[in-house]
């Protein structure tokens, strides 16, 4: 997966950057979580401050166009963004490995 930033606008009023980007990929369309991680790494920012507002893939192409916002602080992001956008951009929790859960249960029983 390769991300290219097409347009970068600094919105000083809202303390954020607004990005138009394209994603070239192979196979299925990448998830929002994967795109957020890659954008955060590319911009050297915390993944929790990056929101992917929209992402649309084109039929017959391995290309998606998107719009993202990168905030300076989490507090400002929570003030401005709608709850459904914040919920859509939460990172999925890592599944607990069964062995670790069994070890934790054994320790609790002792």
pLDDT surpasses 90 at 94: no
78: helix, strand or coil? helix
Of residues 55, 76, 74, 52, the one with CA closest to residue 64: 55
At residue 71, the pLDDT reads 92
The token duo for 54 is 């929209």
Residues 78-95, mean pLDDT to the nearest whole number: 78
**44: region left, alpha or beta (phi > 0 left; psi from -120 to 50 alpha):** left
pLDDT tens digits, one per residue of 19-42: 999 999 998 889 889 999 999 999
Q: Would you tell me which CATH number, out of the four given (3.40.50.1220, 3.30.70.330, 3.40.50.2000, 3.90.180.10), belongs to the domain 2-109? A: 3.30.70.330
Domain boundaries, the chain: 2-109
Residues facing residue 99 across a β-bridge: none
Q: Read off the pLDDT band of 58 (50, 70, 90).
A: confident
Helix, strand, coil % in the chain, rounded to nearest 5: 35, 35, 30
Residues 78-106, mean pLDDT to the nearest whole number: 69
Instruction: State the Cα–Cα distance between residues 84 and 52, nearest whole angstrom.
Output: 12
At residue 106, the pLDDT reads 58
């Amino acid at each position: 997966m390769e991300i290219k930033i097409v347009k970068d606008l600094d919105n000083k009023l809202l303390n954020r950057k607004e990005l138009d980007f394209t994603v070239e990929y192979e196979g299925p369309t990448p998830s929002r979580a994967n795109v957020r991680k890659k954008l955060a790494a590319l911009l050297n920012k915390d993944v929790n401050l990056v929101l992917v507002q929209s992402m649309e893939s084109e039929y017959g192409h391995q290309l998606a166009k998107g719009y993202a916002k990168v905030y300076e602080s989490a507090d400002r992001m929570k003030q401005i963004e709608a709850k459904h956008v914040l919920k859509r951009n939460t990172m999925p929790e890592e599944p607990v490995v069964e062995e670790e859960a069994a070890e934790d249960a054994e320790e609790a029983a002792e």
